[in-house]
Amino acid sequence: DIDNFKSINDTYGHHGGDTALIKISETLRERTRRSDFPARYGGEEFVLILPETDQESALQVANKIHEEIRSQTFGTSTSRFALTVSIGLSSTSTKQYADWRQMLEDADQAMYVAKNSGKDRVQVCLPRGKNGLTQISAHACRMSLRSVALFIPFVLTLVVGAWIIFEPGQGTVSGDLKR
């Protein structure tokens, strides 16, 4: 999810917001494999499907995309701005899911934890603990991160993989898709 996207539209107009969405889409396409599936999920969200991808590999992808977006300049020739994203991640390599919706829900929850923990970070959803509650681990983008899956309005996973949803400025969610 793009952090503070509404303020970008309010400050730079919808054209400024649209150029940011296009540039993020291009970044996702350029930074993923041919077998991955990046897509706009709605509003300022994206989902990235990463087939046959474990949590550690998905986390590496999420961190690379996060840093790439963070280092870019957006806008038009007359009005430039930077933006950040919050990414939520879940993976089938750390948890079994009955269907893709549950995995997406965990990634979505991880994204909201990222947003509520200061934004501009990758958030990993960990398997449920003994008490049945999902444990969530937040990491600032500049910290060295370990393995996990993302959510930054796109999905990253298929059968044995993990999916990520990226909502620019908001976070990322990931999950597993069953056929």
Do residues 156 and 149 make contact, with C-beta atoms less than 8 angstroms apart? yes
Whether pLDDT at 77 is above 90: no
Cα separation, 72 vs 5, in Å, equals: 15
As a whole number, mean pLDDT of residues 51-62 equals 91
pLDDT at 95: 82
Q: How far is CA 151 from CA 6, 75, 89, 131, in A?
A: 19, 23, 5, 25
pLDDT at 57: 93
Cα separation, 165 vs 154, in Å, equals: 3
Residue-wise pLDDT for 106-156, tens only, equals 888 888 899 999 999 999 986 555 444 444 444 332 222 223 334 443 333
The count of other CB atoms within 10 Å of the CB of residue 33 is 11
- pTM above the 0.85 mark? no
- Reported as half-sphere exposure (CB side, CA atoms, 13 A), residue 173 has a value of 26
Q: Would residue 44 show up in a list of annotated catalytic residues for this protein? A: yes
Find the catalytic residue in 26, 44, 45, 52.
44
pLDDT at 63: 95
